[in-house]
Amino acid sequence: KFARRRATELKHGRVSMLACIGYITPEFFKMPGYLSPSQNVNFADIPNGLAAISKVPSAGWAQIAAWCAFCEVSQKQAPGTPAYAGDFGFKAIPDSNVYNSADPAQRRKKLNAELANGRLAMVAIIGMFFQDGLTGSAWGDWDLYTASPLRAFESELGVQAPVGFWDPAGFCFDGDGAKFARRRATELKHGRVSMLACIGYITPEFFKMPGYLSPSQNVNFADIPNGLAAISKVPSAG
């Protein structure tokens, strides 16, 4: 089961890497000429991203589906076959082909890199879909997208539960501009404190002040551990 799931993960990662490239390329380059001469549709007429789904002629989608089916059935992918492990015989650069590398360490490094990049691409393409669906572009400007549900006020339909929240203290009372402004200021303050806290957590991993933290107790800055362990080590006066 692990081998099958790893093969599936690898396949989905490769598809996602191609999908990311396919999402980015039309932003800079489109094929010249006709996509469908019979329907008088040029490649340049097709919008980028999800908007292209409804613009590509049905015959184009049929060709894509047929090609995917051919790729699936043209290789024996039973356990134990090269294709099952991801080797489909494509050797664009034979001398540096990953699967034929004479150096086991180099081969493992490249295969691990492919797996990691595939995982990243799976997350990336989902992010592109999400942002494209909300803003109309995979690189949409959220400042210009005022219709986002992420900007909805709490009294808007669908943002709050149909029967409201159990809130006897009135913390989530709708439509109170003054309370909303106060909570926004509180949120901003907590966010700033959290950003400083993150920096304070990371910095001691790379740098600590020289000298004494407490000369009277003979405690140097370098003696203080990182993270939560520092709580019990810092002198009470500190």
| Predicted confidence band of residue 70 (pLDDT cuts 50, 70, 90) | confident
Taking a C-beta distance cutoff of 8 angstroms, is the pair 151, 43 a contact?
A: no
160 annotated ligand-binding residue: no
Per-residue confidence (pLDDT) for residue 82, from 0 to 100: 73
User: Helix or strand or coil: residue 170?
Assistant: coil
187 annotated ligand-binding residue: no
Per-residue confidence (pLDDT) for residue 174, from 0 to 100: 61
9 annotated ligand-binding residue: yes
Q: What is the pTM of this model?
A: 0.55
131 annotated ligand-binding residue: yes
Instruction: Work out the average pLDDT over 114-138.
Output: 88
Annotated domain spans of the chain: 2-144, 154-207, 208-238
Per-residue confidence (pLDDT) for residue 143, from 0 to 100: 64
Name the H helices within the chain: 2-24, 58-73, 104-135, 177-202
Q: Is the pLDDT of residue 26 over 70?
A: yes
| Predicted confidence band of residue 55 (pLDDT cuts 50, 70, 90) | confident
220 vs 104: which has the higher pLDDT: 220
231 vs 81: which has the higher pLDDT: 231
Per-residue confidence (pLDDT) for residue 111, from 0 to 100: 84
Q: Is the pLDDT of residue 92 over 60?
A: no
Q: Is the pLDDT of residue 6 over 70?
A: yes
Q: Which of 132, 138, 129 is nearest to 16 (CA)?
A: 129
| Predicted confidence band of residue 19 (pLDDT cuts 50, 70, 90) | very high
Per-residue confidence (pLDDT) for residue 182, from 0 to 100: 82
Q: Is the pLDDT of residue 156 over 80?
A: no
Torsion angle, alpha carbons of 140, 143, 149, 150, to 10: 100
Dist. CA 51–CA 137, nearest whole Å: 9
Please report where in the chains the tokens 């690189």 appear, as a residue.
Answer: 139
Q: Which residues contact 217 (CB under 8 A, 6 or more apart)?
A: 235
42 annotated ligand-binding residue: no
Which residues on adjacent β-strands are paired with residue 220?
212
| Predicted confidence band of residue 194 (pLDDT cuts 50, 70, 90) | very high
CATH topology of domain 2-144: Chlorophyll a-b binding protein (1.10.3460)
216 vs 71: which has the higher pLDDT: 216
Q: Is the pLDDT of residue 89 over 60?
A: yes
114 annotated ligand-binding residue: yes
117 annotated ligand-binding residue: yes
Per-residue confidence (pLDDT) for residue 153, from 0 to 100: 54
Please report where in the chains the tokens 């980015």 appear, as a residue.
Answer: 24
Taking a C-beta distance cutoff of 8 angstroms, is the pair 46, 34 a contact?
A: no
